[in-house]
Structure 1
Amino acid sequence: MKTEPEDYSWERLVADGETIWSGVRNHQAARNMRSMALGEEVFFYRSVVQPAVLGIMRVSQTWYDDPDNPPWCLVKLQPVRRLPNEVLLSAIKAEAALADIALIRQSRLSVTPVSDEHWQLILELSDGSR
């Protein structure tokens, strides 16, 4: 899940303890939010300024209608942990095994799925084991 640091930062998420993910105004991104399961972990991705995967969040409430902006939806998320090292977009692009990740293929989409294989590769890039 992407956010611009001036809109919502990792540090603010940690301080808040939970947030409502709002402002998604793309039908495909909204479908991706609707597919999230309670307890599912998702990456927190900082866009625009030094784009990178920073941490892991957990779905604390599955999608529900945005009362202010139907037909859009909202999801509640809690921070799980910051990654040992940020995984810069440049590192993701440089990793051949991540060439087909939606983050690269659909770079303007704010909520993208991540396969189990891609998830593991990003974690390995973060901890230096790859």
Structure 2
Amino acid sequence: MKYWLMKSEPDTFSIDDLKRKKREAWDGVRNYQARNFMRDDMRAGDSVFFYHSNCAEPGIAGIAEVASDAYPDPSQFDPKSKYFDPASSRDNPRWMLVDVKFVNKLKRVITLDELKNHPQLEGMTLLRKGNRLSVMPVDAVEWKYILTLE
């Protein structure tokens, strides 16, 4: 099993939205490195930190599970979608997604500022300067340590 962090803006889709829906396609990823993580490395059963980004208090808000292996993101084929990609075809899709399912909401958000204050996490991908990926791996040691912070 692998561990991941997936970012979502809470005013678009929050941990509470995932709790209500129970399972959701993680669509709209339009970064090649994030796509490659989903396509090549993520598998059903992997664990995910659900991270609220671009908000007053960014941080880890909950835990989800990868509920499917990667498959083509249908929004890339829909001309009415903001994620439409005219260069992508059904025979050779450019963008992939995975389904995620709700596991639990944390008792509190573990904020980005708090994560930065733990030397044990200094190598974490999320904390690297200039990292803006929406999907990224989390080391097993980092995962276990972060769970102790709740």
Task: Report deviation, 1:107.
Answer: 2.7
Higher RCO (CA-CA < 8 Å; seq separation 6+)? 2
Gaps of 5+ in 1: none
1:79 maps to: 102
Count of residues in correspondence between the two structures:
126
For 1:54-99, what per-residue CA distance to the aligned partner results, in whole angstroms no more than 9, with x for missing partners? 1110111110012342300011010001123321000111111111
2-side partners of 1:86 and 1:78: how far apart?
Answer: 19
Q: Compare 8-17 and 102-111 and name the one that shifted more.
A: 102-111
After TM superposition, the runs of 4+ consecutive aligned structure 1 residues lying more than 2 A away are: none
Identity of aligned residues (%): 40
Gaps of 5+ in 2: 1-5, 77-92
Question: Where do 1:86-105 residues align within 5 Å?
Answer: 86-105=109-128
8 A contact 2:28–2:75 mirrored in 1: no
8 A contact 2:64–2:100 mirrored in 1: yes
Structure whose CA Rg is larger: 2
The TM-score, its normalising length taken from structure 2, stands at 0.80
2:18 maps to: 13
2:48 maps to: 42
Task: Report deviation, 1:124.
Answer: 0.8
